[in-house]
Amino acid sequence: MTTKHAGIRQARHRAHRRASVDRGLRHTVALVATLALALAPLAWAERTHLKPGWNMFSPQQDVELGRQVSKDAERQVPMLNDARVDSYLNNLGRRLAAHAPGERYPYQYKCVNDRAINAFALPGGYVYVNRGVIEAADNEAQLAGVIAHETAHVALRHGTNQATKAYAAQVPLAVLGGVLGSNSVGAVLAQLGAGFAANSLLLKYSRTAESQADIMGTQILYDSGYDPRAMAQFFEKIETESKGKNPPEFFSNHPSPEHRVERVTDEVDRLGGPPRNYLSDSAEFREIKRYVLSLPPPPKAGARPQQGSGRSRRPDPPSNRFRSFENETLRMSYPDNWQANGQGNAVSFVPVGGVVDDGHGHAALAYGMLVNVFEPHTDRDNQASLEEATDQLIDDLRHSNPAMRVVRGHERVRLAGGRALSTYLSNDSPLGGRETDWLITVLRPEGLVYFVAVAPGSASADFERAFRAMLDSVRFRQYQ
């Protein structure tokens, strides 16, 4: 009897202990799950946040620009035109592009029949990868790293950002107005000379842009489940293998930022290290690499681009009737016998005949008003004042307009109920003689919003009433 009771007690004790272990295990699993959920957002909180820079193009114009330049590109570079390879690149690229932030561009990926290690991206999502990248990559993650880097250039709008900065710095104010006045990406291409051969505008990136593409490319790899260290590993590999030889073409078109590998490693650490069960390779990549290596050697190729011009007549006087214009920054009115052209923050209001041929085949603004947003240069601690930002803008304008002079310095005025500056400038007119450029600047959260009213000196008084009515009608959007 005693032995029987002892056995029952021991069985109950063992059952109780198992229940305790089970409860502890469930508690531990729940705790781990809770911690995992709590820590999951940290990869997003710690990652470097990047955003596109100043741009006179809209995202829709990026696509149109990329579509037109891609046609030029595909006539000039030796396309592989292999459905099997392009299909693989598109599947891989679109998987990565699904994790690219910003605009949902119609990304497409194609293979170039060139064994040089290179890749390039055109605005709007047109990405080209040389067969040499596929042949040189050790695994799919390294190829994905190159594609993620190029996808990041598209997402960050580096091509049109470069074109915007280069154009604002090199092209006279009047010609900028002509571009905006054209309301046509075809005319923009002609003005910029931005065919595929003019890759200094659309493909030549700064070291800062390269570093941003490295960082965002690393994030895209991580979010897509690939080893985020693979991009830096590939760059390291081709750099090591090319020592003592000419650098790979990739580094000619993509200047290497300082401490590139360290910067990528730092971003991986910010993301919390490589994701669990990350992907490095695939059977599809190994098969495509074998297939590409088996193809005949690529041919040699080369070609050239084209250019354009414009002309106009003297415009009629501004109408006394006005129509409304609205964009993401402001709302304002303009004479109803003028045209509003441009997208995004950049717009021009131009009378018929206000855009003329400057004598060099460029469409130039002779009459009308430009509106745009300028990004002033600031240090980390201090934001530029309205006066400082306006001086920076005038310096930039004078780089591309060497004949421009300040004829009446900054005067404080009110615009849309806020503080603004009025500055009168004089510049060479595309019609000959001098023109008056009346500059109004307002410091806003999105940057320095500026208005430039342009008319030849002899006609400036006739247009001043219309310019003042337009400025009086300005109302800014509430900044969120």
Give CA–CA dist 480/473, Å, rounded: 22
Q: What is the pLDDT of residue 57?
A: 82
Q: Which two tokens stand for residue 274?
A: 């490589």
For 358: left if phi > 0, alpha if psi spans -120 to 50, otherwise beta; the answer is alpha
pLDDT tens-digit readout, 417-427: 999 999 999 99
Q: Domain spanning 322-476 has what CATH number? A: 3.40.1000.10
**Does the pLDDT of residue 10 top 50, yes or no?**
yes
Nearest CA to 165 among 253, 257, 56, 254?
Answer: 56
**Residue boundaries of the structural domains of the chain:** 17-44, 59-294, 322-476
Q: Give the range among 28-37, 287-296, 300-309, 328-337 with minimum mean pLDDT.
A: 300-309
pLDDT at residue 220, rounded to an integer: 97
Span 216-233, pLDDT tens digits: 999 999 999 999 999 989
Band of pLDDT at residue 39, cut at 50, 70 and 90: very low
Nearest to 404 by CA among 446, 452, 353, 362: 452
Q: Give the list of residues 6+ apart from residue 13 with CB closer than 8 angstroms, or none.
A: none
pLDDT tens string 361-402? 566 789 999 898 887 877 656 788 999 999 999 987 887 788
Q: What is the pLDDT of residues 100-133, one digit of tens each?
A: 999 999 999 999 999 989 999 999 999 999 999 9
**What is the model's pLDDT at position 182?**
61
Q: Is the dihedral of CA 341, 415, 408, 315 positive or negative?
A: positive
Q: Model confidence at 37, in pLDDT bands (50, 70, 90)?
A: very low
Taking the CB of residue 284, how many other CB atoms lie within 10 A of it? 12
